[in-house]
Amino acid sequence: MTNEICLATKPPPDILELFKTEDGGKRFAYSYANGVDTLKEKPHTLEEYSIEHFRPAPKRTISKTLTLSSARRAGRDELWRHSREPIRQPLLKKLQNKEGLVEDANFIFTSIMKYMGDIPHKRSKIGNELTDQIFDPPLKQEILRDEVYCQAMKQLTDNRNKFSEERGWELMWLATGLFACSQTLMKELTQFLRTRRHPIAQDCLQRLQKTMKVGQRKYPPHQVEVEAIQHKTTQIFHKVYFPDDTDEAFEVDSSTRAKEFCANIAERLTLRSPEGFSLFVKIADKVISVPEGDFFFDFVRHLTDWIKRARPSRDGTIPQFTYQVFFMRKLWSNTVPGKDKMADWIFHYHQELPKYLRGYHKCTKEEASKLGALIYRVRFAESKQELQQIPQMLRELIPADLAKLQSTNDWKRSIVGAYNQDAGMNSNDAKVNFLKIIYRWPTFGSAFFEVKQTTDPSYPELLLIAINKQGVSLIHPQTKELLVTHPFTKISNWSSGNTYFHMTIGNLVRGSKLLCETSLGYKMDDLLTSYISLMLTNMNKQRTLRVK
């Protein structure tokens, strides 16, 4: 992925449907306590700040034909007040004569005026195009951040156009969720927000304080953030899908990082811990894990832009991609069936079942019969009516390669026998018992990858690779025999591309290499990186404890 930003277009309705506002959403109404404005302080402006930090205002020659009132208006054409004229130089002295920054500052101000309606804009619907133009430059160049805040405060001072003012406050709300200003300007910005009676001002102040605490964003606002504030709401709910085919909506804001998002989900679902779980974004044909340190909206914005650039349409239009967000177990290092039953019921069983049915594990007929009975019990509990349909649903109970070992009637007989032995067991208990059987296998909790390799003639050309808490295992695709397991401590280097995954075992001089053809190299790379990162973190914790 690159760090470039492309202009985004409005997502289609099915993407916007992922973000929904609930009845409890904060909507700003233009009313005050008992109809009385309780704000006694005079609204703060940049008038005094501008004397030291702004460039001099351009002088105007007063014509004799001007009336006295128009002469007064011309005389108070200060840079810190609202203007309907584009600027030709940045407001701040520190940006003057700095090549490139002058043009950026002027372009930003023009985009602000277009967004606020102070000058015409070719599009009737204001979307991400203008917010990208306003916020992308200061996100990349810190020196422009004060300029953007000064421009926003300028356009919100003595602005007599209600529509323009509302649009200006939308930009202020978006800015305070992206980055803070310098300490020199912070006092002015804080005073400006604190003394304004606009109902969104206090929320902007809170967002600014939170941004100072959690850090700045990397990318301009996501389309949904822009849509939210344009509809006068500051609560955004995103739908998250779980492996058991359920979903729930969770509140996210501009400063929500993936780790915080995961913790909120774990708390709502009463999981014992969010450790090992991750958010995944499914878009096009890829499922990509969200790094826990990333801001959620940053990652989604970066990913959708990257996909659009990677797959341009033939007719020149920007393609639209729907996506879904999943929450699943990623790392299985500390997973023990029965230890966290809620996690077993919602996640572990439903994530392990498809891998079992695809035949990735080495399994005996007796184990398969027992597991088949437990799968049946998960679906039908104590109902015996569907037992007669076992031959028709055998593929949903037994791995395809094992199903060939005996007749469907023999499988039915052994599965029914195993089912009867577990009389009285409910569906959730059956999930836990299913996991307890698989837990005994060395491939429990693995992510499996079917790859092609030609670097080692002692291994089959087609290989099954399993990545789990033990390390990276190579498995014979037919016999399911474990050929070798490379612990994480022995893996010295790895890389991936669109069509390959490469790994070095041992040191670079005497080590062996494995080069695989696969379109899932990015997933293998990410999983290996995550497991090794967790391993190193745990080792550091142990060292710290020993020192203490």
User: 212 and 88 in one domain?
Assistant: yes
pLDDT attached to residue 313: 63
User: 143 and 39 in one domain?
Assistant: yes
- For residue 315, being part of any structural domain is answered with yes
pTM for the model = 0.84
pLDDT attached to residue 316: 58
Spatial CA neighbour of 216 closest among 205, 226, 208, 227: 208
User: 188 and 40 in one domain?
Assistant: yes
User: 383 and 265 in one domain?
Assistant: no
pLDDT attached to residue 286: 85
pLDDT attached to residue 74: 41
User: 273 and 415 in one domain?
Assistant: no
What's the total number of domains in the chain?
Answer: 4
Where is the domain boundary, 200, 230, 260? 230
- For residue 9, being part of any structural domain is answered with no
User: 45 and 86 in one domain?
Assistant: yes
- For residue 10, being part of any structural domain is answered with no
Spatial CA neighbour of 224 closest among 265, 252, 263: 252
User: 88 and 67 in one domain?
Assistant: yes
Q: How far, in Å, CA of 362 to CA of 481, rounded?
A: 7
Query: Residue 419's domain is classified under what CATH number?
Result: 1.20.80.10
- For residue 13, being part of any structural domain is answered with no
Q: Phi and psi at residue 500, in whole multiples of 5°?
A: -150, 165
- For residue 11, being part of any structural domain is answered with no
Q: Which domain holds residue 193?
A: 26-230
Where is the domain boundary, 386, 416, 439? 439
Q: How far, in Å, CA of 237 to CA of 284, rounded?
A: 23
Cβ contact 8:305 at 8 Å: yes
User: 221 and 78 in one domain?
Assistant: yes
What CA–CA distances, in Å, run from 241 to 279, 341, 435? 10, 19, 22
pLDDT in tens, the chain (548 residues): 333 333 344 555 555 555 544 444 444 433 333 333 444 679 999 999 999 999 998 765 544 444 444 434 443 458 999 999 999 999 999 998 898 999 999 999 999 999 999 998 876 566 688 999 999 999 999 999 999 999 999 999 999 999 999 999 999 999 999 999 999 999 999 999 999 999 999 999 999 999 999 999 999 999 889 999 999 988 899 999 999 999 999 999 999 999 999 999 999 999 999 999 999 999 888 899 999 999 999 999 998 888 877 776 665 555 566 789 999 999 999 999 999 999 999 999 999 999 999 999 999 999 999 999 999 999 999 999 999 999 999 999 999 999 999 999 999 999 999 999 998 899 999 999 999 999 999 999 999 999 999 899 999 999 999 999 999 999 999 999 999 999 999 999 999 999 999 999 987 677 889 999 999 999 999 999 999 999 988 888 777 777 66
What CA–CA distances, in Å, run from 526 to 260, 450, 489, 508, 532? 20, 16, 17, 21, 10
pLDDT attached to residue 13: 59
Q: Coil, strand, or helix at residue 280? A: strand
User: 350 and 217 in one domain?
Assistant: no
Query: Residue 504's domain is classified under what CATH number?
Result: 2.30.29.30
Where is the domain boundary, 400, 420, 439? 439
Strands (E), 320-389: 323-329
User: 465 and 435 in one domain?
Assistant: no
Query: Residue 106's domain is classified under what CATH number?
Result: 1.25.40.530
User: 115 and 258 in one domain?
Assistant: no
Helix spans in 381-463 (H): 400-403, 408-421, 427-439
- For residue 360, being part of any structural domain is answered with yes
- For residue 197, being part of any structural domain is answered with yes
- For residue 319, being part of any structural domain is answered with yes
User: 262 and 397 in one domain?
Assistant: no
pLDDT attached to residue 312: 65
